[in-house]
């Protein structure tokens, strides 16, 4: 079984680990193996939908784009030469289709440009730090982080914590939400997120940083209230 | 390079490799640190700061926990109806292939 969502494995391991099993999967698909198709659909559809939502406005359109992508896979699989990975090919088809739909809806999103909602906001408010002219400890914590990292692992077991995180993620500006979700929820490596969203490495990191910083602060507030 | 003021750490970010990292700087470069893209000299300053600052150690740990928690969120997939219709489309495609 291909390990395509192996979290935090190096890209190299994923690539070499994938190629053989991927070739087999493509062969099975060409021969009409329904189990292979079902596996692919179940494995990749969540990420495909997430990526579609980066370019089109509503859920229904995103579903349609995902569906069109799979149909395009069926008509194109005979010609697929395996020069890129199946995953890359799949996401390329999706991105092209999603963009076309986005244009039609007059809603193109250029990820390479950060939106106004991504304007600079510090990861932690300046009121939490000593002023720059402090004689001994400029820029050091005046109000250190409320400690919660030790209790969070048990908190995973609590649905409420995960609900807070899920809601926080939904509230992020769309570009941040897309990057954080693909990286941290779906476990994509950075270079794949950059390729799919046509984003520079630097901007990808900026969006990831702002999104994660915001989520950390939401969890801190939640645990502080809980204490 | 002329130094403006000894206490204005922001303007000195990167041009004084020996300068101690302030907490306020650490929280802004943490993603570069975790991504492994922080320049070597800043990485050393980051590590040196962590060794002496429990507040920042907690902060870094919170980020790591956040990433782990996010990883256990389940990804929302397509609607069951979309999936069903895809599987039906697959069967039609397969049948048309075998007829050729």
Domain boundaries, chain B: 16-72
The token pair that represents A121 in the structure block: 């906001």
Q: Are A219 and A164 in contact (CB under 8 A)?
A: yes
pLDDT tier for residue A99 given thresholds of 50, 70 and 90: confident
Q: Does the predicted model carry a pTM greater than 0.90?
A: no
- Given this model, what pLDDT does residue A18 score? 52
* Average pLDDT rounded to a whole number, residues A112-116: 56
Verify whether the Cβ–Cβ distance A156 to B72 is below 8 Å. yes
Prediction ipTM score: 0.79
**A186 alpha-carbon distance from chain centroid:** 6
Per-residue model confidence as pLDDT tens digits over B12-57:
444 455 688 999 999 999 999 999 999 999 999 999 999 999 999 9
Distance from CA of B41 to the nearest CA of A (A): 19
Q: Please give the CATH topology (third level) of the domain spanning A11-104.
A: Rna Polymerase Sigma Factor; Chain: A (1.10.1740)
Verify whether the Cβ–Cβ distance B62 to A70 is below 8 Å. no
Interface of A with B in 143-162 (CB under 8 A): 144-145, 147-149, 152-153, 156, 161-162
In CATH terms, is domain A148-226 a member of 1.10.8.590? no
The reply to whether A11-104 and A148-226 are identical in fold is no
Verify whether the Cβ–Cβ distance B72 to A162 is below 8 Å. yes
Q: Are A98 and A50 in contact (CB under 8 A)?
A: no
Q: How many CA atoms, within 13 angstroms, populate the side-chain half-sphere of residue A111?
A: 31
Map out the domains of chain A as residue ranges: 11-104, 148-226
């Amino acid at each position: 079984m291909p390990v395509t969502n192996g979290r935090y494995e190096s890209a190299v391991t994923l690539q070499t680990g994938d190629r053989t099993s991927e070739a087999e999967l493509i062969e099975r698909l060409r021969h009409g193996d329904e189990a292979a198709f079902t596996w692919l659909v179940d494995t990749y559809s969540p990420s495909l939908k997430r990526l579609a939502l980066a370019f089109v406005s509503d859920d229904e359109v995103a579903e349609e784009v995902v569906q069109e992508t799979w149909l395009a896979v069926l008509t194109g699989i005979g010609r697929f030469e395996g020069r890129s990975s199946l995953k890359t090919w799949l996401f390329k088809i999706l991105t092209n289709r999603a963009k076309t739909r986005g244009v039609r809806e007059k809603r193109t999103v250029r990820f390479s440009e950060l939106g106004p909602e991504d304007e600079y906001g510090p990861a932690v408010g300046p009121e939490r730090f000593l002023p720059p002219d402090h004689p001994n400890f400029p820029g050091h914590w005046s109000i250190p982080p409320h400690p919660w990292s030790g209790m969070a692992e048990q908190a995973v077991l609590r649905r409420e914590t995960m609900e807070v995180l899920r809601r926080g993620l939904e509230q992020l500006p769309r570009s941040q939400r897309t990057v954080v979700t693909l990286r941290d929820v779906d476990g994509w490596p950075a270079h794949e997120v950059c390729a799919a969203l046509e984003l520079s490495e630097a901007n990808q990191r900026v969006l990831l940083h702002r999104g994660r910083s915001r989520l950390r602060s939401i969890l801190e507030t939640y645990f502080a209230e809980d204490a | 390079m002329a130094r403006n003021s000894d206490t204005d750490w922001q303007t000195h970010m990167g041009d004084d490799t020996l300068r101690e990292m302030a907490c306020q700087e650490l929280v802004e470069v943490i993603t570069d640190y975790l991504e492994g893209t922080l320049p070597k000299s800043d990485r050393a300053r980051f590590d040196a700061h962590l060794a002496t600052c429990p507040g920042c150690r907690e902060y870094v740990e919170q980020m790591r926990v956040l990433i782990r928690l996010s990883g256990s969120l389940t990804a929302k997939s397509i609607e069951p109806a979309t999936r069903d219709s895809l599987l039906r489309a697959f069967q039609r495609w397969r049948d048309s292939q075998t007829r050729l």
